[in-house]
Structure 1
Amino acid sequence: MIFSVLLTPLAKGVIIRRPRVMALAERQQWDACGIRAMQRLRAKHGLAPYPLRIFGRQFALLIDPAEVERVLEHSPEPFAPATREKTAALRHFQPHGVLTSRGELRELRRAFNEIVLAADVDVEAVVEYEVDRMLQHTTTLDWDTFAVCWWRIVRRIVLGTGARDDNGLTDSLAALRRAANWAFLRPQRRGLRRRFQRGLAVHLDRAEQGTLAAAIADVPVAPGVDPYGQVPHWLFAFDAAGMSTFRALTLPPDDLAVLEAVRLWPTTPLLLRESTVDGTTYLIYTPFFHRDDETLPFAHRFAPEIWRNGRKPALVPFSAGPGVCPGRDLVLRTGAAVLTALRARHHFTPSVSFGPELPATLNHFGLRFEVN
């Protein structure tokens, strides 16, 4: 049970996915194994949080959807998002981000993120241009081709046209994220991080009109917020959005297809909250709560209708409560714009076909589409 629920997300890569491991995970359907393990645990132990002692630390694996709601709604006190494990990983590339912060500083940084990420950015115009460029000579759309286009879109939205072709910037971030996968076990690459930060600052200083960089320049900043230090997390989150958008191309057209893709194939398989009272870390294995076919009639099918009347309990593709992803609307808007632009121009036939039930694990690296 421990392997399928806790260790497989670590093996796939929590901060950046490992392509070879993802291919293995898809072949063996690791997430389906994890879901079944959680169902067996519930049948044997009931709905109470399941205690775990790991390396002298106290953890509790949540089984009850009501407990998931309670823990997430009562963040950051007494359930802090800035757990020791999360802080150890994210400090590799964003030591001053919201998810590594507590107390008043967290509140200030969170407020800054919410304001900037709600800025008016012409996402659709950027998407239209980049998708057109990508499809000019594309007969087969694979992940590598899509990722080049996606990162050009992201860099333009966040940093501006001047960053469009700065692959080195996001490649450096990827290298830092690979180190972050090891959290405590890998020394920080401080020199690389400084170079990444300097390159990022060049684009942010330009504050190109109509970008998040311009919004940063317009927002008054309280001491300690470190506005530029928030941006690595936005780029990190956009990577997950790209994975979900590409997976959503396998689903029927719908304006909620990206959101459903995140439910069906969660990009954050483990949500963590640490008690500020006794230090217990609460673990939420999201594939179980999203795909529990013993309680959810829609578990393994495409079901965009479940979102039209509001979020359902324990369906937390972007977390929930005060710790919900502040960039949720922006990434969903970007993903939806990409899908709309793609489908307005061509028909995309996936190289894989699904039966009545969608697979629990879908390796985005291996997806390919014939473009007609």
Structure 2
Amino acid sequence: MPQPAAPTPRALPRASVLDTLRVAGTVAVPLLARGLIVRRPGAVRLAEAVDGDRRGVRLFQRLRRTYGGGPLRLRVPGRRIVVLLAPEHVHRVLAQSPEPFSPATKEKRSALGHFQPHGVLISTGADRADRRRFNEDVLDSGHAVHRTADAMVGEIRREVAELVDVAARDGVLDWDAYARTWWRMVRQLVLGASARDDEALTEDLHVLRATANWAFLHPRRRARRARFLDGVRRQIARAEPGSLAASMPFAHVSDRTDPEQQVPQWLFAFDAAAWASYRALALLASHPDALSRAREEIAGRDLSVPKDLPFLRAVVLESLRLWPTTPALLRETTAPTRWEGGRVPEDTLVLTYAPFFHRDDENLPEADRFAPELWTGPRTEADWPLVPFSAGPAECAGRNLVLHVTSTVLALLVDASGEDGPRLVGRHPLDPDAALPGTLDPFSLRFALGPARG
């Protein structure tokens, strides 16, 4: 008796050619233009002018209404790409990383390989497990306050005090002054006090990251990369107290680890933290109730003593929700996977467009307002996916360290600003009673920190 034929696996819904072009023109091309590895300020300014990320959210909402919950396959020649439209699918992909959803996509490998070819983000298998363990050890991932935070906070306080003096002299705090101070601070936190003024080191990294924006379209700058990694190696060898380099000898290391190639990612991540903290300062400057809560949190505290600052951490997380510094979370399937809508083959790029889930006003009541309470109450895995640091086994290992550093910087700036500041100057404030913009250019923000004049 003949056996019944096996059912043909269902195919995923496929976007039309026109909708695929809309995704490319509204999301992919603008993100590439802004720079995925290092931002191009002119392109960011233009994205703010046209409120680019809000356009992306509206497009993805329309795709969900048209095609359902997905995953939705795009019609891209030469590359299988699906986009996620349902929260449960985001949870699944992030929870099941790195297998069968690997963070080491072809696109990431071609970009990050310019300056960290053995970095954990583009590693697989045993190499990834080894390097992930090293990162977690050095970054003290499981603790809200890093084990060496006493020394770190001392360095942060000195740099912020100097920044406040510069702002008082100039009458304004602008991005250039903030970024200079930020990088002096970060070089000390990561590599040690002797790296404070080593601008050549981070300039090399900046050039390599700018090249990485072009991914496989630009040849490797091998001599520049070798010089940069040699500089990192020399600083690591000093293991200066209070730096992440000083924690490295006590971390798990094997012949797979390549410790110096994990450092570029820490520096890279701190660059994004600068944008997030500067935007967070704008949120505080524009929301009097939040500024009052921040003052209450630091009132009577000795800010030279490391402490977790839950409300200010929530402010930074809200900055990252409202304006994600990693808008595209990429995974690549290492095996076929099955979904309600059909089968996804191996070697498929899976895209989570973070602004869609962070600012989806059809499902998230707080989508377009400043809502730090999202981060101060209990959250579960079943909650709507707010993923500023990704999530699951591949969540950013530096999450707690970044949040402690950024919240400490905010605390010191709020403390130094007195009763009148910080205040946004030279532009309209972010109105607490109106929808916040989908895109916010940090490079054009300017603040007054001292007493209001007149």
Quickly name the TM-score band, shorter chain normalised: over 0.9
Alignment check: 8 A CA contact 2:281 2:410 kept: yes
Deviation at 1:218, TM superposition (A): 2.2
Aligned to 1:297: 365
Give, in whole Å, the separation in 2 of the partners of 1:19 and 1:365: 7
2:334 to 262, 276, 298: 276
1:367 to 445, 448, 452: 445
Aligned to 1:233: 265
Other structure's SS at 1:137 match: helix
Deviation at 1:220, TM superposition (A): 3.8
Alignment check: 8 A CA contact 1:290 1:314 kept: yes
Aligned to 2:430: 354
Does 2:406 correspond to 1:328? no
Aligned to 1:90: 112
Deviation at 1:350, TM superposition (A): 0.9
Does 2:379 correspond to 1:310? yes
Query: Please, which moves more after superposition, 246-255 or 149-158?
Result: 246-255
1:97 partner letter: G
2:147 to 100, 107, 120: 120
Query: Please, which moves more after superposition, 52-61 or 235-244?
Result: 52-61
Alignment check: 8 A CA contact 1:249 1:339 kept: yes
Aligned to 2:302: none
Give, in whole Å, the separation in 1 of the partners of 2:147 and 2:99: 32
Q: TM-score, normalised by structure 1?
A: 0.98
Query: Please, which moves more after superposition, 130-139 or 105-114?
Result: 130-139
Give, in whole Å, the separation in 2 of the partners of 1:53 and 1:234: 35
2:157 partner letter: E
Give, in whole Å, the separation in 2 of the partners of 1:91 and 1:54: 24
Other structure's SS at 1:299 match: coil
Deviation at 1:155, TM superposition (A): 0.7
1:365 partner letter: F
Other structure's SS at 1:152 match: helix
Aligned to 1:110: 132
Give, in whole Å, the separation in 1 of the partners of 2:166 and 2:112: 38
Deviation at 1:205, TM superposition (A): 0.8
Deviation at 1:134, TM superposition (A): 1.4
Does 2:83 correspond to 1:61? yes
Identity %: 49
Q: TM-score, normalised by structure 2?
A: 0.80
Cα offsets for 1:331-350 (capped at 9, x unmatched): 01000000000110112211
Give, in whole Å, the separation in 2 of the partners of 1:207 and 1:307: 35
Alignment check: 8 A CA contact 1:349 1:370 kept: yes
Other structure's SS at 1:225 match: coil
Aligned to 1:264: 322
Give, in whole Å, the separation in 2 of the partners of 1:196 and 1:354: 40
Give, in whole Å, the separation in 2 of the partners of 1:10 and 1:66: 27
Deviation at 1:190, TM superposition (A): 0.5
Alignment check: 8 A CA contact 1:260 1:303 kept: yes
Alignment check: 8 A CA contact 1:96 1:230 kept: yes
Alignment check: 8 A CA contact 1:348 1:369 kept: yes
Give, in whole Å, the separation in 2 of the partners of 1:40 and 1:334: 38
Aligned to 1:287: 355
Aligned to 2:50: 28
Runs (4+) off by over 3 Å: none
Deviation at 1:251, TM superposition (A): 1.3
Alignment check: 8 A CA contact 1:121 1:157 kept: no
Structure 1 gaps of 5+ residues are none
The structure that has the greater radius of gyration is 2
Aligned to 2:101: 79
Give, in whole Å, the separation in 2 of the partners of 1:117 and 1:53: 40
